[in-house]
Amino acid sequence: MSEDISKRRLGRGLAALIGEMDQPVAAPGAKPSVNPDRTVPIEFVSRTARNPRRYFDESELQDLAGSIRQHGIVQPVVVRTVAADRYEIIAGERRWRAAQLAGLVDIPVIVRDVDDRTALELAIVENVQRSDLNPLEEALGYDQLIAEHGYTQNDLGEIIGKSRSHVANSLRLLKLPDPVRDMLAEGSLSAGHARALVSTPDPVTLARTIVSKGLSVRDAEKLAQNHIKAQTSGGPVPKAEKDSDTLALERSLTDRLGLAVSINHKGDGGQLRINYKSLDQLEQICRLLEGR
């Protein structure tokens, strides 16, 4: 069987391989819809650095831990064997983390004998089906499959059940600078907002404006287009409005120094500008900087 055919068949057979993991979680007190292969000591199970999911909300973990204390783990954790009596998580790290918080000694697992590539595919598909990945995690997972296993965007689309354009748009998010990616990961920016910023001259400043003003995706796209047009026409790029924290800091410094102060962010840095109207005011600034 060729590798291409194997990839296509794997995309359709993933649910069967993990044990119908995409079935709805049973109601509290009900029996698991998927029977575990065995129950193992929780300390014998470890997370994998290959998990595309990187962010776990602490309050949600605490809520899940409370449910687990009362009802146990309804959906088994999917693992693979890495050594004698030692297992690595393929899917279900959130349940494993919550089980530790709940003080469980043993957890139910489904054991699957798969290689690194298939383990990553399973983790991505399971998380995408449940909408557990934020847009940045999803993009990083796709990028890892492409970089490590030579997948094309078409391959990924077939495996995860998404269009090639969806994969391409997800990967575009990785072009954004780290401050914007952080906003995307924490949920203050949506994927639609972030995609609008990819080709702009100053995505960090625009992202801060979008968040502070609560702009819709459509408004964010218009803002981005205005900046791109200004850049290509050679005219001045319109300045984004400053957020409330920056304006408050400007006022505080102005009041303290008795001189007009302006702050302009650009990327992780920026400019702090102090305006003076006379040599006496300049001398005052120099004394302050020298600590006199």
Architecture of domain 3-169: Alpha-Beta Complex (3.90)
Residues identified as active-site: 93
Question: How many C-beta neighbours within 10 Å does residue 175 have?
Answer: 14
Q: Structure pTM?
A: 0.54
> Could you give the CA distance from residue 209 to residue 128 in angstroms, rounded to a whole number?
29
Q: Which residue has the tokens 């004998």?
A: 113
Annotated domain spans of the chain: 3-169, 176-233, 244-290
What would the two tokens of residue 234 be?
A: 């050679």
Q: How many helices (H) and strands (E) does the chain have?
A: 13, 7
pLDDT given at position 21: 42
Token couple for 121: 């595919």
Class of domain 176-233: mainly alpha
Give the per-residue pLDDT at 28: 42
pLDDT number for residue 101: 93
162, 168 in Cβ contact below 8 A? no
DSSP string, 161-219: T--HHHHHHHHHGGGS-HHHHHHHHHTSS-HHHHHHHTTSS-HHHHHHHHHHHT--HHH
pLDDT at 13: 39
**Each residue's pLDDT tens digit, 9-61:** 344 334 444 344 434 344 444 444 567 788 999 999 998 877 777 777 788 88
Task: Provide the token pair at 287.
Answer: 């004394």
Give residue 236's pLDDT: 58
pLDDT per residue rounded down to tens, the chain (292 residues): 344 433 433 443 344 443 444 343 444 444 445 677 889 999 999 988 777 777 777 888 898 899 898 888 888 888 998 888 899 998 888 889 999 999 999 999 989 888 887 887 777 776 666 656 788 888 888 888 788 777 788 888 887 778 888 888 999 999 999 889 988 888 889 999 999 999 888 899 899 888 888 889 999 899 888 888 776 666 555 555 667 677 778 777 777 777 777 787 766 677 888 877 777 778 888 887 777 6
